């Protein structure tokens, strides 16, 4: 599904236009998401518009010791539950033709109109489910009844729910996946409208020329549906809080995530486009830090683990000053396994971050105890190992 030789989509506004033109439509929301950080100085950015609106009511906390709760300030909405109801089908008509010339004409009752569908539509202009945050009900129109002279009733109005690419819709009761939207303009009938009933004209037979029976319209269907956004990226960063994930993203791409020395600086995913050799590039997602027990809901982990389900490669980051790098890596791996064992089928790279804190001797010593897997010591501050890291990631993405 992933294009292996995507052109460079780095950084500034000009490149954005070029990249947006070349990159397949599926990447557009990803681009917009990543570029919203890249363009964060530009007040025209839609994301900053949202931010500006929300800060009117509540100034964001700037004190690093009191990070805000994610739900308090975030306009990154990746989960909504909506009650949906399709339209009822209109009833078929039971009618007999009457005219001066033909006072005892045959049945001519028309069919009822179809009830409106609830349709989910992919829209690359949206990059979160924010616009659906306060949508509690979506109800389609009912079809109208058929009438005399074989006139079919009008169809009920269809209702469209526009969603960002990467949205998965599930039934709230059965938890079954109903549809997955990955391309712009893609449409799925989530809840079909009831069929219109047939008029009595359909029921005449050679032996029963004047049936009075006409079919009623089909009833509507209703239920709660869950809309979940799983962002699309090639590489997902996985690490404990403070591992240096956001710093790495800010160094490798034009994204400008918040960076600070306290845990849970990142409260919502950030995306960036990493330029690689020969004008190629890949998308990297920085998600909030994971802690032990994340798969059971501790920290912010569970809420955001879904965002690595779609990544093709996972980059584990463990800081060099961690007490036990191998143990920390195993904890992270175990959390992912508990959440969804399929996550372990993805390509993996381990980056020991903040390598500038180590001298050469320590690096050699540490390397010996680490798991046998694609491994690199990196420092976002001194840029050590970043080229090797990109090579390793590119190889894994294309394997
Ligand atoms: N010495 C050193 N410090 C680093 C490096 N990369 C990041 N840091 C520091 O580590 C701290 C945490 O960095 P972040 O990038 O915010 O860490 P994070 O993994 O995104 O943290 P959360 O968002 O809380 O999950 C900051 O104080 C950074 O300056 C590095 O390569 N070397
Ligand atoms: Mg962060």
Strands 118-122 and 187-191: antiparallel
Counting ligand 1 atoms within 8 A of each CB, the residue from 238, 242, 351, 362 with the most, and so the one to mutate, is 242
| Same domain, yes or no: 201 and 247 | no
Cβ atoms < 10 Å from Cβ of 120: 24
Residue 60 placed within a domain: no
Ligand 1 centroid to residue 349 C-alpha, Å? 18
pLDDT tens for residues 222-275? 999 999 988 778 899 999 999 999 999 999 998 888 898 888 888 888 888 899
Q: Count of domains in the chain?
A: 2
Per-residue pLDDT of 305-342, as tens digits, reads 888 888 889 999 999 999 999 999 999 999 899 988 98
Sheet holding 281-286, edge to edge: 270-275, 281-286, 235-239, 313-319, 347-353, 375-377
Residue 2 in any domain: the answer is no
Q: Is residue 381 located within the same domain as residue 286?
A: yes
Residues with Cβ within 8 Å of 118's Cβ and at least 6 positions away in sequence, in order, are: 84, 85, 86, 138, 140, 158, 159, 161, 189, 190, 191
Among protein residues, the one with the nearest Cα to ligand 1's atom 5 is 354
Residue 386 is encoded by which pair of tokens?
């970043």
Q: Within a domain: residue 7?
A: no
**Together in a domain, 110 and 179:** yes
Looking at the fold, whether 288 and 338 belong to one and the same domain comes out as yes
Distance 246 CA to ligand 1 centre (A): 7
pLDDT band at 95 (very low <50, low <70, confident <90, very high): very high
Which residues keep their CB under 5 angstroms from ion ligand 2? 246, 265-266
Global pTM value: 0.65
Q: What angle do CA 25, 30, 31 make, to 5 degrees?
A: 80
Give CA–CA dist 10/27, Å, rounded: 14
Q: For the chain, how long is the longest CA-to-CA vector?
A: 108
Tokens representing 299?
Answer: 């920290």
384 Cβ inside 6 Å of ligand 1:
no
For residues 251 and 365, membership in a common domain is answered with yes
- The number of the ligand nearest the C-alpha atom of 380 reads 1
CATH of the domain at 96: 2.70.210.12
CA 260 to chain centroid: 27
Task: Please tell me the distance between residue 39's alpha carbon and the centre of ligand 2 in angstroms.
Answer: 18
Q: Are residues 167 and 241 in the same domain?
A: no
* Domain of residue 130, residue span: 79-229
pLDDT higher than 90, residue 18: no
> Is residue 269 domain-shared with residue 171, that is, in the same domain?
no
Residues 282-298: what's their mean pLDDT? 84
Of 94 and 13, the one with more pLDDT:
94
Of 172, 197, 229, the residue at which a domain comes to its end is 229
Lowest average pLDDT, out of 44-48, 107-111, 181-185, goes to: 44-48
The angle subtended at Cα 319 by Cα 315 and Cα 321, nearest 5°, is 165
Q: Which of 191, 206, 229 is the last residue of a domain?
A: 229
Nearest CA among 361, 362, 353 for reference residue 384: 353
CA distance 334 to 365: 25
Q: Relative to the CA of 258, which ligand 1 atom is closest?
A: 16
Q: Find out whether 19 and 38 touch, Cβ atoms under 8 Å.
A: no
- Domain end (from 173, 198, 229): 229
Instruction: State the pLDDT at residue 75.
Output: 66
**Any idea what the CATH number is for the domain that residue 31 is in?**
3.40.50.300
Q: Separation of 10 CA from ligand 1 center, angstroms?
A: 22
Q: Specify the ligand 1 atom closest to the Cα of 241.
A: 25
């Amino acid at each position: 599904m992933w294009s292996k030789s995507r052109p460079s989509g780095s950084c500034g506004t000009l490149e954005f236009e070029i990249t947006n033109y070349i990159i397949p439509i599926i990447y557009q929301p990803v681009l917009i998401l990543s570029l919203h950080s890249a363009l964060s100085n530009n007040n025209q950015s839609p994301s900053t518009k949202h931010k500006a609106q929300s800060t009117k009511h509540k100034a964001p906390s700037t004190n690093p010791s009191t990070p805000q709760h994610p739900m308090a300030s975030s306009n990154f909405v990746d989960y909504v539950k909506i009650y949906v109801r399709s339209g009822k089908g209109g009833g078929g008509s039971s009618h007999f033709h009457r005219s001066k010339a033909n006072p005892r004409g045959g049945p001519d009752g028309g069919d009822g109109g179809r009830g409106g569908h609830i349709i989910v539509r992919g829209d690359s202009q949206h990059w979160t489910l924010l616009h659906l945050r306060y949508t509690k009900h979506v109800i389609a129109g009912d079809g109208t009844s058929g009438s005399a002279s074989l006139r079919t009733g009008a169809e009920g109005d269809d209702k469209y729910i526009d969603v960002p690419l990467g949205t998965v819709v599930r039934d709230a009761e059965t938890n079954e996946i109903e549809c997955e939207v990955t391309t712009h303009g893609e449409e799925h009938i989530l809840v079909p409208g009831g069929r219109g009933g047939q008029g009595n004209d359909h029921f005449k037979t050679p032996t029963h020329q004047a049936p009075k029976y006409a079919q009623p319209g089909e009833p509507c269907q209703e239920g709660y549906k869950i809309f979940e956004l799983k962002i699309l990226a090639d590489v997902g960063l996985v690490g404990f809080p403070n591992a240096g994930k956001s710093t790495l993203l800010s160094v490798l791409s034009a994204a400008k995530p918040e960076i600070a020395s306290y845990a849970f600086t990142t409260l919502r995913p950030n995306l960036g486009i990493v330029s690689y050799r020969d004008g190629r590039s890949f998308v990297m997602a920085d998600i909030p830090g994971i802690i032990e027990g994340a798969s059971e809901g501790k920290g912010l982990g569970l809420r955001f683990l879904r965002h690595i389900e779609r990544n093709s490669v996972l980059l584990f980051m463990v800081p060099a000053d961690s007490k036990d790098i191998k143990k920390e890596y195993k904890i992270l791996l175990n959390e992912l396994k508990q959440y969804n064992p399929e996550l372990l089928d993805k390509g993996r790279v381990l980056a020991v971050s903040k390598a500038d804190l180590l001298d050469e001797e320590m690096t050699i010593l540490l390397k010996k105890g680490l798991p046998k897997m694609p491994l690199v010591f990196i420092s976002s501050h001194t840029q050590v190992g970043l080229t090797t890291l990109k090579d390793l990631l590119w190889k894994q993405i294309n394997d």
